[in-house]
Amino acid sequence: MLNMCMKYCTYKSTHPTGFWYAGKGITAKVESGEYKGSGIKFKVTCTHPGFEFDTWTTVVLDKFATELEAFAAEELLVPLEALIDPYCLNIQKGGLKGRGCGHSLIFRMINAKKRREAKAIKAARKKEREATAKERQRARNKKWADKIKALKESK
């Protein structure tokens, strides 16, 4: 039976080709082989021939009583410098890093680009609406000017 005092762990999944993924998980799932990682690059790599899920070896590096301790260890396990390694499949540094609100640099760049594009589209639409509104105002002014001119001529 699993020692419930050590519910969380840090692990490293490696492939014979040298690719690796490291993270924090629930000890029971990692030790049973049910869990080897959840990173997007890791999952995509596992879909390629020769990189199937069962070809990866996962080793529990350390066990922890609390999830916060495991996050702290993960931060040391996957520092920012590790992301430079071409064989590393992690896309962001390890640790708590604001789970649920923080994203990797890649996703922040993509989201920033989307926000800039959306802002440009919004600005273009606003400019178009303003131009249309000005054109309508000019048409109304011309219509009133023509009515006033017609009234003056009829007198």
- 8 lies in the same domain as 56: yes
What share of residues in the chain are helix, strand, coil (percent, to 5)?
A: 55, 15, 30
Q: pLDDT at residue 152 above 80?
A: yes
Three state DSSP letters for 27-44: HHHHHHCCCCCCCHHHHH
On whether the pTM is more than 0.85, the answer is no
pLDDT value, residue 101: 44
Residue 119: which pLDDT band, with cuts at 50, 70 and 90?
A: confident
Region 119-142: mean pLDDT is: 90
Q: Which residue has the higher pLDDT, 67 or 103?
A: 67
- 49 lies in the same domain as 94: yes
- 95 lies in the same domain as 118: no
Beta bridge partners of 14: 20, 57
Could you tell me the strand order of the sheet in which 8-14 lies?
Answer: 20-26, 8-14, 57-64
- 18 neighbors 65 (Cβ within 8 angstroms): no
Cα–Cα distance between 27 and 65 in angstroms, integer?
10
Residue 98: which pLDDT band, with cuts at 50, 70 and 90?
A: very low
Of 100, 132, 147, the residue that ends a domain is 100
pLDDT value, residue 147: 86
- 82 lies in the same domain as 132: no
- 127 lies in the same domain as 78: no
Cα–Cα distance between 20 and 120 in angstroms, integer?
40
Of 82, 100, 118, the residue that ends a domain is 100
Structural domains of the chain, count: 2
- 22 neighbors 36 (Cβ within 8 angstroms): no
Region 35-45: mean pLDDT is: 88
- 91 lies in the same domain as 136: no
- 57 lies in the same domain as 118: no
Structural domain that includes position 111: 103-155
pLDDT tens-digit profile of 48-94?
999 998 899 999 999 999 888 898 899 899 988 888 999 999 988 88
Cα–Cα distance between 38 and 24 in angstroms, integer?
10
